[in-house]
Chain A
Amino acid sequence: METMEEPPPAKSPDTQAQPSPDTTNEEPKASPPYIRVQDYCFWYGENQVLFDLNLDVQEKKVTALIGPSGCGKSTLLRNFNRMNDLVDDIRHKGDITIAGNSIYDPAVEIISLRKRVGMVFQKYNPFPKSIYENVIFSLRVAGRRNKAELDETVERSLKKAALWEEVKDRLHESALGLSGGQMQRLCIARAIANQPEILLMDEPCSALDPIATGKIEDLIDELRDQFTIIIVTHNMQQATRISDNTAFFYLGELIEYGETQQIFTNPKIKQTEDYVTGRFG
């Protein structure tokens, strides 16, 4: 299903539409892609849901994963930080590397991986604690107690999540008193408190109204220079607004991957064209 026009990069029979780095007609410099998915297959029990995926994610770019329900995009997303390890009877083949290092290396500590790769979920899920405690929860679990450090983390994270001005005078109030959009931004603040390198976002706006969605999208735009962001979305207009590159999946296969503008204005694969124009899915 993947088409190939250009010679593939080393070890990656990727799609013809692999996004080029910021250089246009120059040869890319000899550095590996930041996140590489290589010949990746995944099963829930006997049910194979991902088929021979090859995908390179660029550093400090926003990559959107799109496709109809059940196509495997959320499954792939959850594998970047091995959240699927929490599910019984799963297995995989192939590899996912971050900065050249396999996330499946036996030496990798899962907790450390999940600190590097933060996640924000579709339904905002603040803990039933104060705003302050929500942000620093992982630091507390790690045994950090220095108040100055915790205060600095809270302020930095809430500022980055564009929530500080709205909550700075009520940090010790319950997070459950916030609006939906504020709660989702709090979850983003919580995710970035550990200063991860990568942010995974699984339909972060699907439970939000248009105004709150706009704020989250503005936030993603601000964060793109600091984090590598991978976002699953059903909202194609959202993907066109905020992402640099887009990968289209169908029935567990990567159909087309390219620069967002190309995918949504001139897709090369008919299936992609049919999906983005609403002819199926």
Chain B
Amino acid sequence: MEVKIAPQMSLMDKLKILADAAKYDVSCSSSGSSRKNDGTGIGNTVSAGLCHSFGADGRCISLLKILFTNECIYDCRYCINRRSNDVPRASFTPDEVCNLTMEFYRRNYIEGLFLSSGILYSPNYTMELICETVHRLRTLHRFQGYIHVKAIPGADPLLIQRAGYLADRMSVNLEMATAEGLHEMAPNKHRKTILKPMRQIQNGIAENKNELILYKHAPRFCEAGQSTQMVVGALPESDYQVMSVAESLYEKFSLKRVYYSAFVNVNEDKQLPSITAGPPLLREHRLYQADWLLRFYGFKVDELLTKERPNFNMAIDPKADWAVRHLEVFPVEINRADYRLLLRVPGIGVKSARRIITARRFGSLTFDDLKKMGVVLKRALYFITCSGRMMYPTKLDETYIVQNLTYQNQMGKGEKLPFLLDGTPYRQTSLFDEGQMLEGLNVV
């Protein structure tokens, strides 16, 4: 296979260019696959996933995240690698990718490979390059660690199937929440061509599950499932739209993860919003919180948002927001409430809810016990009773609770936000200067 490369470029230069080009892809997880080493090569996978380092932006570095090439025939507005941009271009060879992966992996720098690519010549040509690289890594180098590859929309289904049998996880990026938005942003991409490989991978995984029931040693197809990502903040789409799309992806396409990427205007494109205030990190954070509520807490999007209230409250998190608007279900009695109801209490997570269920079999629990189990009492105390008593005399009143929760935030003792801390654009106090943030709560 002939690969177009600049011959004089060093491996270091290539890595710099192609890691830089890959950094806007959010997916970093190495979870969902559990495989022992078979004794013939190097590597295994851990189902919980491992983050091997954290970058200066605080994002985890789990996989060697690179593009195979940043040459691209497409011209997507939001993308740094678009055809019309004048940026240095580079391409790896399959051997270079294999060697980097193997040597990084031996030193425990990474959990595996994340291989994406710009579209070189055609989707098929690009997908073939990706397949070839991963095939070499799996067979020649006997690499048994984690591999995440992109399915290139528009590539032949056979190539996608081939990649699926080599990779742990595949992903196709949805890019924009709405089909019109995608058309506006990425004139060469279409919703249909994105959803087609997504459906193919979903069916592949479902069929593979049946095969595995019959034949234990059948080859595995995308053991860790598939994921996708959406850019938020580039278009005026609402949180309700974004979350509804995510919900249907989970339900109808059986996705493992949907990632949300706060828009960064890398191209300074005039048609895109300028983000002088920095990327919309708080909004992204709220979307992830809601995503967790969908996947682990039994929430539906319609419970969190409506057409009339299409955006998340920036002042308090989606779960607390739901709770203060549904005070009729509270207070919840810790020693009696079922698991689903416990999960609805702000300050109680999946782990602490499980611990409560198992521990209360031995006898009734007190607030002190809850604290030891990891319940965040300063948030939960407004919503729970232990043996019929509240922790402090409090009012079950929306305004009162919201004021207390947000007052904690102002004191820096409330909700832990990952990005208010470092001179980054969002400051908790400034939120309260902007009255509209609190409108949804009728609090002034």
* A is bound by B: no
B residues adjacent to A (C-beta < 8 A): none
